[in-house]
Amino acid sequence: MKVTYTILLYTSLILFGLLSIQLNGQSKSDTLSYELFVNNEIIGEMYVIKNMKSDSTFSYVASSNADYRLLFMFHIQFSYLTSFDSKGEYQSSEFSYYLNNTKKESNLVLREDNKFNVYEEGKLKKVIDSPLRHTAMEMYFKEPVKEAWVFSERFCDNFKIEKEGVDNYKIDFPGGCTNHYYYEDGRCFKIKINTLISDMEFRLKKNNLPLYSEK
């Protein structure tokens, strides 16, 4: 099994998912689309899709693209694919980060019994023995009201969730990055990201509706 998908493959997965939602009555999917702002200017977008199959297994696919100028123009792409079994237990994830079409980061996490193997560039990087119940991809569709920790598919580690208000939370990630998540009706409608270089904000588009739902 390949350790990482290319950005093209992730894009194809999303396009295929959007098409299959309308054709396949055995599953249902939901999509959240966000616009990325820096200094109140749109510089990119992100799509997060939750695919739910008839056997109760489900997965998340996410893709984001941004063009950001800081002395020079930078084209940034992130892609995620995370899967869960019918009990809602985390099974696997793949992550990739491209800068100006050059791969900068990638990893694969695979569950084996009660352990999780983390691979980078096809090589086993580490083994996680502790259970992983809640992942960062779930943060978009589910408010972490009862969660104290979240597993990051990008950094392959657990991070503390701090409650800041009635419906908003904070997570400190490596590299001086802090994410602030804001919720309405259980869904994340805004993410404020503070970094050492600049601040940015993902805002949920107002026309987000389930693409398909079983009657």
Backbone phi, then psi, for 48, in 5-degree steps? -125, 120
Token pair listed for 156: 């392959």
What's this model's pTM, rounded to 2 decimal places? 0.82
Residue 212 lies in a domain: no
**89: containing domain:** 7-204
Q: What is the DSSP letter of 71?
A: S
- Number of structural domains the chain divides into: 1
Residue 197 lies in a domain: yes
pLDDT band for position 13 (50/70/90)?
very low
Residue 215 lies in a domain: no
pLDDT tens column, 15-30: 444 444 443 445 688 9
Residue 69 lies in a domain: yes
Q: Regarding predicted confidence, which is higher, 62 or 10?
A: 62
Residue 28 lies in a domain: yes
Residue 1 lies in a domain: no
Residues in the chain: 215
Residue 211 lies in a domain: no
The CA distance from 71 to 136, in Å, is 31
Contact 21, 8 (CB under 8 A): no
pLDDT tens column, 112-153: 998 999 999 889 999 999 889 899 999 999 999 999 999 999
